[in-house]
Structure 1
């Protein structure tokens, strides 16, 4: 059965690099993205070789098992081609490429993947990453040592753990089969897109529902607007749905679309171990991916452990500094309160306090300075009420002056306001008219 759907492929050098090492393929049943590595020429050659071997898979298959077997065999053959290319051209030593491919078989997508290019599925208004990056940083994410957000900016995010290269005759691809439905939209892309445009914006572009070609253009524009430090390749595949079946021949983009007999320029110097462990901004013609040997990985792991320790120390130092600032501010605030005074009351007498009339939980911000001995019972009602509500003072001397005035009034005799009785006249005992 022929796959029914529409697709588009697009590739761009980006804003920093001087050549395009990506390749992409969009055909009748086969869809591929390959991101080359290995210097100015090696990446071009590697991704072109991979696409060249994959092209022959673009036909119908009786079963998904047959498609899987064909995909694995083509990847193994491509690895052999890379090994021969490196032997024939020593300047290409170390070349390699990522490979993410889909073969549509009836209602199923047969997927093969190695490296850090990605395959996404947009279904029911949700974008899902289908493939897992074969990178050093992804291992850190999987082990819970860093978050996905930290992985986006990790200095080792381009170190590949698995790749199609001239160092492995039997590449270990992730191979699996997924059912696909009418209305599904599949996205294959190099990290030039996924490393710049986050999933929320990719999903937003998918949600608009434009045809694959216009959607791919939209995603490319977002990558370019974000700086596009690497090559950007996008392949979009719609399953059934609103867009009609594309007609014509397969579309090949990127390095694989150029003639293969172009003279190979002198390679850029390969980065040393020191450069890998302490990278600076890469030149436009230097590789963005590395496949380190075991010794390099050991050092990368040790370095990441050191980074983790430094990060923890930094967090602890920042926490301690924050606590010290809070403690210092609290101490200064407390010291200020101890310059304040007020007149208040204890159970039965007038007392001078130092501090303010508040508490911080169980901690009182005032202390008793002097019990004046003036009894509350000896005060007039309005004076007693004022003392119980507390009377603020500017200083200890001011507080003492307030209590002296209270003491002066405390024992003063109250005015006699008892009414004088009217005298009764003597005589007949009758009231005087």
Structure 2
């Protein structure tokens, strides 16, 4: 039977947000994060309500399938509580929360997930993402329309397609039952971590020999070092022989404070929270219906946006090429206003242009070949002609030829 060796939960408001709408829970067998949405309309309330209801599911079950069914029903029950709260407090309309939960049952773990918080598994040094984001951009990635890298900066990266809240009476919850082994390290986190800290850095931190609490602190610090434009919450769970007696459940984030709501405090100016490490503008997470019509509409908008982007890029490429061509033409025309005296077929000659080549293009051509043999000139004049004598005009070139001719008399 798998056991929890150690666990930790840490939550931080971040560098930009005015309040913490995340919640996290590290219990005896149940662990989860909840990322509230709705801004000052009640994101913190939604995640707190969900946390207190879901925490009630921390217990023993007859089997993993039974645990999975019970955990799913618990999330749906939390959804109803949020809906009921909105019905009593209209100022909270539109609030919701993500939930990513892990329940240890025997040799297996039960996963329940909705939204864009994430669950990762580190096993034998290899890190893998277990949950799938319920976001618009993830659907674009799954459809092969954009890459994961493009999803990180997509203008609709904050659009959620599934959440707990007053938007759906029975939202679809992803559930699964997986094996777990001694030495596994599980990470549950809000997008305040996954949206800021690169996958490779998360992997490196999780792979350290540090304990669960130290690793959780390091992950939060990595988000803060990256600008932390959103609240960040992490829960780390190590599987193995317990290193200490059972510890009481730990709740962090908005759910750790007494549940109170009413007229929200005015939002503080975000200008004072700006940081040079800020990776991108802060966008409020919001929900859109998970419907084919909406998806098709946004796909069309995305296609139009890409077309506009290609047009703009094409325009600037053409403009750059035109500027290069214009610079070359003007430069070539300037070279043709220059002349120099040199040698051609053993005789003194006048050349138009400059004595240089631009790849296969010669920047000079023979203008006049005189009857003066270079070999008949004085040694000094021979050297000057062989090395070429640059002049600024054709008339000046003729005067030099006349002086060379006169030196032979």
The answer, yes or no, to whether TM exceeds 0.5 is: yes
Shift of 1:225: 4.4
Counterpart in the other structure of 2:308: 310
SS at match of 1:34: strand
Shift of 1:345: 4.8
- Within 2, Cα distance between the matches of 1:191 and 1:111? 18
Counterpart in the other structure of 1:189: 189
Check the 8 A contact 2:2/2:108 in 1, yes or no. Answer: no
- Within 1, Cα distance between the matches of 2:264 and 2:295? 24
Counterpart in the other structure of 1:112: 112
Counterpart in the other structure of 1:57: 57
Q: Deviations over 1:125-165 (max 9, x none)?
A: 55433323222233344445555444334443221111122
Number of aligned residue pairs: 396
Counterpart in the other structure of 1:426: none
SS at match of 1:111: strand
Distance 1:373 1:113, change over 3 A: farther
TM-score for the superposition, normalised by structure 2: 0.80
Q: Which residue of the other structure, out of 278, 283, 292, is the alignment partner of 2:288?
A: 292
- Within 1, Cα distance between the matches of 2:245 and 2:153? 38
Q: Which residue of the other structure, out of 393, 397, 400, is the alignment partner of 2:398?
A: 400
Distance 1:363 1:287, change over 3 A: closer
Counterpart in the other structure of 2:3: 3
SS at match of 1:51: helix
SS at match of 1:119: strand
Q: Bigger CA drift: 309-318 or 397-406?
A: 397-406
Counterpart in the other structure of 2:76: 76
Distance 1:281 1:134, change over 3 A: farther
1:11-410 to structure 2, matched below 5 A, reads 11-40=11-40, 42-61=42-61, 63-240=63-240, 244-245=243-244, 247-260=246-259, 262=260, 264-266=261-263, 288-293=284-289, 300-301=298-299, 303-346=301-344, 350-374=348-372, 391-395=388-392, 396-404=394-402
SS at match of 1:32: strand
Q: Bigger CA drift: 93-102 or 244-253?
A: 244-253
Check the 8 A contact 1:30/1:57 in 2, yes or no. Answer: yes
Distance 1:2 1:127, change over 3 A: closer
- Within 2, Cα distance between the matches of 1:146 and 1:48? 34
Q: Which has the larger radius of gyration?
A: 1
In structure 2, the gaps of 5 or more residues are: 274-281
- Within 1, Cα distance between the matches of 2:143 and 2:323? 35
Shift of 1:406: 5.9
Q: Bigger CA drift: 355-364 or 137-146?
A: 137-146
- Within 2, Cα distance between the matches of 1:29 and 1:381? 103
Check the 8 A contact 1:2/1:60 in 2, yes or no. Answer: no
- Within 1, Cα distance between the matches of 2:114 and 2:271? 24
Distance 1:41 1:345, change over 3 A: closer
Check the 8 A contact 1:115/1:161 in 2, yes or no. Answer: yes
TM-score for the superposition, normalised by structure 1: 0.76
Shift of 1:7: 0.5
Shift of 1:50: 2.5
SS at match of 1:28: coil
Q: Deviations over 1:205-258 (max 9, x none)?
A: 3344321112222332343444434322110111238x8256222212223333
Check the 8 A contact 2:65/2:177 in 1, yes or no. Answer: no
